[in-house]
Every structure is written in structure tokens, then in C-alpha cells.
Structure 1
Amino acid sequence: MSRLVAGGSLACLYLACLILAPGGSLTTLEAHAALLSPRLAHPFGTDDLGRDMLAALLQGGRTSLTVATVATLLALAIGLVVGLVAGIGPALLDEALMRVAEITASLPALLLAVLLAALFGGSAWNLALLLGLTRWPLVARIVRMEVRSLLGREFLRAAWALGASPTHVAHRHLVPHLAGPLLAAAGIVFGGAVVAEAALAFVGLGDPAVTSWGQMVAAGFAVIGLAWWVWLWPAAMLVLVSGLVAAMADLGDEGR
């Protein structure tokens, strides 16, 4: 149950960022509005450019969570297909797919993201694609393990005995039983993508055209002695998302 609560909370947070975040660039306020502490007009204060921190948090969340969502969906799609094929396919195909998964998992995704940003510039979409294409082995392994554990069940034996095709068995009998493991895998991939995007933005290799939480934390460190709120709120959002992700990825959850 806690997985569903954590997943629902993440979904609500993402929807809030998508719906409530102001469009375009954040409006720069008057010079006297720079580094205002939290108050009624600006509940989260303002940054060194006089921009409202709450609006910046919503825009940053839209970027960070979109990157993580795209990467997670891509990893889940690839990992689900590979895991199903490896789980119900012949031993030789299983071995080949798992070796490919091991090679992909060994690639240093963060270093590749740094190289990609250095060669082609920071791009949120490029980072999302790279993370999705390098994180699917985890999903594939979890799916394969679950499929292997289900192969001996009576309902699958009956389906095979009735002449059901592998595609039918996967679609009708296996995928419905993979919701829990897939949610756990999604939490792990999502959390890793959020942290990776924040790390790159923090060191200046994120997308300069958009606001993100990592970028805001980096900007906050420049004025940490003058305005604690500039770095605290985006850092708190990263901690909150990490906590929700940890709850989603808890393989020992009682709802599994």
C-alpha cells in the first residue's frame, strides 16, 4: 500500500508542476525584490534576481520530473519487453539478452551524460533518452526473475496446454502479475534519473534554457550566507522526491 501512496504523491507533485508552473521564462522583479525572505507576497522568498522562488520551484520540478518520467517510461518499455522475452524464450536467447543487459548496465551513464552535454550542449531531452537507454537492464532483470517464478504456476501450465501463444501468455497472464515489481523498478529508475539530472545541472551541464532543481541548488550556494531559502527549497524537494522514490522501490513492501 505504501508504494501506491508514494507513487500517487509523486504523480500529484508532477501534475502540480505541470499545471501551476508559469509558462516561459520567470519574470524578473524590481531590484529591491532580490533575496527577499519568505513572506506573504512570496511564501518561499525570492532569489538573487528577484524571481519568486515558488514559481521557480514549480518550473524546476517540471523540468526535473519530466526528464525522470521520460527516462523511466523508456526504461520500463524496453526492460519489460526484454524481460518477458528472456523469461519465456529459449535458453540461448535468454543468455544473449542477459549478456546485452550486463554490457548496457556496465556503461557509466552519468559520465556518458557529461560527454553528451560537452559535445552537444545541455539538453533535457537528450539526458532523458540517455538515462532511459542505459537504465532498462534493471527492469529487464526484475521482469525476467518474476516471469521465471510464475512459469510453474497452474494457470500458466493450463494456458500452454491449451495451445496459447507466447504473446498471448505474456499479455493475458504475465503482465498483470508484474505491476508490483514494475512499480518498484520504476521507483529505482525514476530516483536515479532525478539525481542524475540534478547532478549535471548542479555542475553546469544541464539544459541552460530551462530551470531545474539542481540548477537552483547550485545558484543558491552562491548566496548561501545571505539567503538560506534560495538553496533550501530545491534541496528539500530533491530529498522529498528521493524519499517517495525509496518508498516506491521498497521490495519488502507488504503490498507486494
Structure 2
Amino acid sequence: MSRAAPACLLGLVLLLVLLLALAPAGGIQALPMTRPFLPPGAAHPFGTDDLGRDMLMAVAQGARTSLLVGLVALALASGLGILVGVAAGLGPVALDEALMRATDVVASLPTLLLAVLVAAFFGGSALLVALVLGLTRWTVIARLVRAETLTLRRLPFFRAALALGCGPWRLARRHLLPQLGAVVAPAAGVIFGGAILAEATLAFVGLGDPERTSWGRLIAAGYPFLDDAWWMWAFPVAAICLTTVLVALAGDAAAREG
């Protein structure tokens, strides 16, 4: 068995635990200030920003918001996708057709544009952005789960369970859901990383949550100092890239091993 999935998961968990452990209480305004524009060094591994705040602490604080958006969007998208996919795969033809047409409609919606509109009209709340992303990105999981369900329905153990009088939801709980991890894992990694990138995009253009520090807000704050203080935007960008890559690798490795 390959060790890629445990290694990626362990690396991701250690990264997130380290960032969350370093994050002090309060917002970025609560961070102590020292000399501004200090380059990365022993005292400040990520340097300091234009106000003298430690960038390592700022990146750690930004992890809270960015990871919250990713996890909420992933939980919502996974729950809806699995529910719709199982219902379409196990239900009658009419239900399957109706759910798949609804899936096509949602999949055709411009997710990022909807998030921009919601943030512009209702404010850039991190939870609200996560809900919009989760409610529009479940379609990929739904299609994968439906296809896997239709495949499993043809297998002997599934037919035997039906012949013994096992109901559809009991079938799903005991025989179907345990088989779906390898199918859902890669799509879950894409949704998680996409949610973090979407939140960063909104924050970069000024539509993020004004009360929370996020990686996107840090990138936007550091962009005007691109030439003189590269570390102000480089480390938040690196945090986004590293997190999304680790999640994607873990999902792909879990699918191969499953």
C-alpha cells in the first residue's frame, strides 16, 4: 500500500495545527507592533508588515478564516452531493431524472460571480461566502456518487441485500456509503482548495469579511508593497498554495488506495 496519503494528511494536519497554535487571540489589530518592513529573520521568520506587525502571526490568524471557509463549504457540498447522488442512484427513474436536471442547473451557475454578488449586497461575511460556495459546488460530488451507486447496484452483494428485503436507506448506510470515500476524496480536495481560493479572491478585491483576517486580505494588504516588502504577500500566497496542494495530493492518494 502506498504511503502517499498518510504522508500528505500528516503534513497537512501538522501545518494547520502549527498555524492555529501560533495564532494569538483577537484580530490582526491586537498583534504587537515593532519596526515596520523588517525582512524575514530570526526574530521575525516572515518579516513584519507596514505597521510593524509580525507576518508569521498574521498568516496564522488568516488561517482561521480561510480554513473555516474551506471546511464549511466542503461539509455542505459533500453532504448535499452525497445525499443527491445516493437518492438519484437508488431512487426511481423519475427521481433520478429530476435530481440530475436540478444538478445541471446548479452546475451551470457562475459560482464566483454569485459569491461576488452576495458579498456586494449582503456583506463579505466569511460564513455567508462559505455557504454560497457549498451550495453551488456539490454538483461534482453528486454526479460521482450517482455513477458509483449505479455501478454498485449491479454487483451481487447489492442484489443479495435487496433480495433479503434491505430497504434503500439501509442499503445506502451499510453497503454504499463505506464504498464512496475513494470516489468523493479527490472532488472534496478540489472543493476545499477552490473555496479557499474563492475567499482569497473576494478578499483581494475588497469584498471579504472586514472583521476577519484572511490570507486573501493579507495578500491585498501586501500588494502595494510588492517591490519593497515582497514577504508581505509572498507568505500568504505560499500558505494558500501549500494548503491546497497538500489537500489535493491527499485526496488523490486516498482515491488510489481506495
**TM category, shorter:** over 0.9
The alpha-carbon deviation at position 170 of structure 1 amounts to: 0.3
Counterpart Cα distance in 2 of 1:73 and 1:252: 18
- Aligned match of 2:205: 203
The alpha-carbon deviation at position 131 of structure 1 amounts to: 0.5
- Aligned match of 2:95: 93
Contact 1:118/1:205, CA 8 A, preserved across alignment: yes
What is the root-mean-square deviation of aligned Cα atoms in Å?
Answer: 1.8
Counterpart Cα distance in 2 of 1:56 and 1:28: 8
Contact 1:28/1:49, CA 8 A, preserved across alignment: no
5+ residue gaps in structure 1? none
**Corresponding letter in the other structure for 1:205:** L
Deviations 1:14-34 (A, max 9, x none): 33333331111233544x611
Find runs of 4+ consecutive structure 1 residues off by over 4 angstroms.
Answer: none
The alpha-carbon deviation at position 115 of structure 1 amounts to: 0.8
5+ residue gaps in structure 2? none
TM-score by length of structure 1 reads 0.94
Counterpart Cα distance in 2 of 1:172 and 1:51: 52
Secondary structure, in 3 states, of the residue corresponding to 2:37?
coil
The alpha-carbon deviation at position 219 of structure 1 amounts to: 1.3
Report which stretch shifted further, 5-14 or 124-133. Answer: 5-14
The alpha-carbon deviation at position 143 of structure 1 amounts to: 0.6
Aligned length: 255
Counterpart Cα distance in 1 of 2:150 and 2:82: 14
- Aligned match of 2:127: 125
Counterpart Cα distance in 1 of 2:7 and 2:142: 25
**Corresponding letter in the other structure for 2:245:** G
Contact 1:101/1:137, CA 8 A, preserved across alignment: yes
Deviations 1:81-106 (A, max 9, x none): 11101011111100100110111111
Q: After the TM superposition, which residues 93-242 of structure 1 pair with which residues of structure 2 at under 5 Å, given as runs?
A: 93-242=95-244
Deviations 1:30-53 (A, max 9, x none): 4x6111111222111111111111
Counterpart Cα distance in 1 of 2:163 and 2:26: 59
Secondary structure, in 3 states, of the residue corresponding to 2:180?
helix
Counterpart Cα distance in 1 of 2:84 and 2:197: 25
Change (3 A) 1:151 1:241: same
Contact 1:14/1:62, CA 8 A, preserved across alignment: no
Give the share of equivalent positions with the same residue, in percent: 51
Contact 2:182/2:254, CA 8 A, preserved across alignment: no
TM-score by length of structure 2 reads 0.93
Report which stretch shifted further, 169-178 or 210-219. Answer: 210-219
Contact 2:8/2:250, CA 8 A, preserved across alignment: yes
The alpha-carbon deviation at position 253 of structure 1 amounts to: 5.3
Counterpart Cα distance in 2 of 1:100 and 1:140: 11
